[in-house]
Structures are given as structure tokens and as C-alpha cells.
Amino acid sequence: MALPLSDIRVIAIEQYGAGPWGTLQLADLGAEVIKIEDPSVGGDVGRYVPPYAEGEDSLFFETFNRNKKSISLDLRTPGGREVLEDLVRGADAVYSNLRGDQPKRLRITYEDLANVNPRIVCCSLSGFGMTGPRAGEAGYDYIMQGMAGWMSLTGDPGGPPTKSGLSLVDLSGGYVSAIALLAGLWRARRDGVGCDCDISLYETALHQLMYVGTWTATAGFVPRRMPESAHPSIVPFQAFATADGYITVACAKQKFWERFAVTIGHPELLDDDRFCDFGGRDRNREQLLPILREALASRSSEEWLATFAEASVPCGPVYEVPDALNDRQLVAREDIVEIEHPRLGTVRQLASPLRVNTDSEPWPLTRAPFRGEHTDEILRDLCGYDEARIEELHAGGTLG
């Protein structure tokens, strides 16, 4: 059975995290992703990210670039531009994660490439988008978490502004750009005309303020950091210290609160007018939470998790990462995949969560490519170049 995106070809001018994460989603679904790497800088900088890096290979790079192909190509040379346009003729999309002013400068917008392929979709993922006063500024996940207000919401009250432990803006930007690219491809196949997709990390981060953004923009809500990673308005919906660690409890429905109160041995809380509904528990959280904390601290995490599970109260352990990778659910669904690498050995990665296959057989996975590994193959098979033309490009420095 063909993979869902096996009839899509994407030319990716990308590096590091957010962009490669976006095209990874497409590659895992079967798209042919041809990664253009600049030979003058040693290709994608992700190849050299420590601590697990050796030569031009790293576990960081493997994480973002499995199932892709690599062509070494200097786009700044006349020959490089010619090769790019020949690639575009046989492609469905051109994807980039450069500064917002770079797609126009490199002539990789739809306006620049429509004469080559009128159905081409040109997707740009940048820090701030291709227009506006910040279009020429570099943008990274850390910067966006600060500018979008995320860091003001994260961490304990009274502590310093705190970044999420993961690069969530980069990852989200990758997903958003992949969705935008697929939407553009759908329209191109329906209407015969391509387009630009202008996606920014900044707007992705702002959009993910979700209800907090709506509350603030509409009603002047002033967000604040919550102790114990608590929800800003629902109680209890947070982490609790137990006798030997931490667990999370999420009483997002009234019935869960009622079960929770009975399970921790405080059914009398259900008759207290202060705590009878969501609004009351929010307004009176300073009176309620000490009671809940004392109760949860009386037993171990394992005991509480088993007790809450039996009572159908949503809860979960707070794992360290090694524990997270050994949870029985992960094991049962085979969420760790293995790919052999000639230099790095057996690389164990997280499987794609995009489970849209109807076949019981696992989808094939290939290691991330060596820099320029597929250059000659792509020039022959996609661009139709003969060996003399390929040799000429090598000799002229276009291919590094």
C-alpha cells in the first residue's frame, strides 16, 4: 500500500530544527523530501550539534532528517540557480526556513518560480514572517517564547521568566508549516495554481496562547504564573507532591472533582459552598489547596495512581525522561524505532505520532542522509542531466 504522501516531492532549503521538523512530518508520511545543503558552510548546521556528534553526523541531525534525501548545492552560483529551477519543474513544493526577507532575496517565492512551475507551492517558515518591520530579524524558539509571553507564564511565582524544557515553538512552527504546505498542495491540484505560504514562529507562538490570549485581548485578563504548574482557573488541575514524588491530577469536569474528593477521604468538601463548582474552587483555591496537598502527601505516587485509576480520576506520573521512554503504553504501541547508521550504530528514535496507515506492517524508515549523498542521483533522475553536465557542475564548485 502506497504511503499517503508518496506522490509529493518537496524541495527543502532548510536547516537546524523548526524547518526540518516540518518536512520530517511529510517525509514520515511518504513524501520525497530533497534537502538542499550549502556546501560552503558544511551543510545543515544540525549535523554538528553536540553532545552526540561525530564528523558530519549527529543524533540531533538524525532526529530531524530521517527519510530524506540530500543534494549539495550552492544556490548563490549561476549553476545553482539553474539546478534549482530544474528541480522545481518536477516538484510540488519549495519549503524554506530562512529569515523572512530571504525568500524574496533568493527568488524562491511563488512570484519568482511560477514561470518555472505554475503549480508550485512555496512555503516559508521564518521568525516573523515575510512582511512587517521585523521580517529581516532572526528568530529562534527562545526569543519567541519570551516575546509571545510564554516565559511570563512558566515557572514558579516569584521566579525568573522560564522557558519550556522543549523547543515547543520550533516544533509547533514545523507542524503549522506542514499543514499550510499540504493545504496549498490541495488547492494547487484542485485549481492548477500554486501559492505562497507565509508562516512565522512568532504568530505560531501567539496563536498558542489559546484561551489566555482570548481572555487577555477581550477582557483584560492579566495572566500569572501558578504554583505547582496549576491551571489558571480549574482546581484541582496541577501537580501534587506525594510521599515519594509527584503526580498530576486533572479534574476538568465536575464529576472528576466529586470522585477526587471522595477518593482522598474528604467527601465533606462536596458539601462546602466554597468549593461546589468551578468558579468557587477557583476563587477559594487558597483555602482548598492546603487540604488537598496534605491529603496527597500521605501516600506514595504509586498508591495514589492506582487508587485514582480505580476511581476513574484523570491522573498521571511525573516521569524523568528515561522513565517516560519505558512506560508500558509506549512499549505496547512500539513508539521507539531503530535505524541502523554506518557511523552512529543503532539509532533509537521516537516513532511518528501520525498513525494514518491501515496496514499492519510498519512503514519503512531510512537514516538521515549524508551531506550530498543523493546529488548525482537526483541530477540524473529528476533533472535529466548526463554525466558530462554533472561533472561540469562539480568542477565549477556549484555542487561543492
Please name which of 216, 217, 130, 129 lies closest in space to residue 173, comparing C-alpha atoms. Answer: 129
The single residue of 231, 266, 341, 394 carrying the catalytic annotation is 231
Q: Which amino acid is at 302?
A: E
92's grid cell? 510540488
Residue 241 DSSP SS3: strand
Contact 174, 165 (CB under 8 A): no
Q: What angle do CA 138, 41, 86 make, to 5 degrees?
A: 90
Output the CA–CA distances (angstroms, integers) from residue 288 to 234, 242, 264, 390, in the order listed. Answer: 12, 17, 13, 73
Active site residue 266: no
Q: How far apart are the C-alpha atoms of 10 and 90, rounded to whole Å? A: 10
Phi-psi sector, 122: left (phi>0), alpha (psi -120 to 50), beta: beta
Place of cell 547508521: 341
Phi-psi sector, 20: left (phi>0), alpha (psi -120 to 50), beta: alpha
Cβ contacts of 389 within 8 Å, gap of 6 or more:
379
Output the CA–CA distances (angstroms, integers) from residue 199 to 12, 180, 186, 399, in the order listed. Answer: 15, 8, 17, 29
126's grid cell? 521564518
Q: Is the C-alpha dihedral spanning 176, 182, 188, 190 positive or negative?
A: negative
Catalytic residues: 231
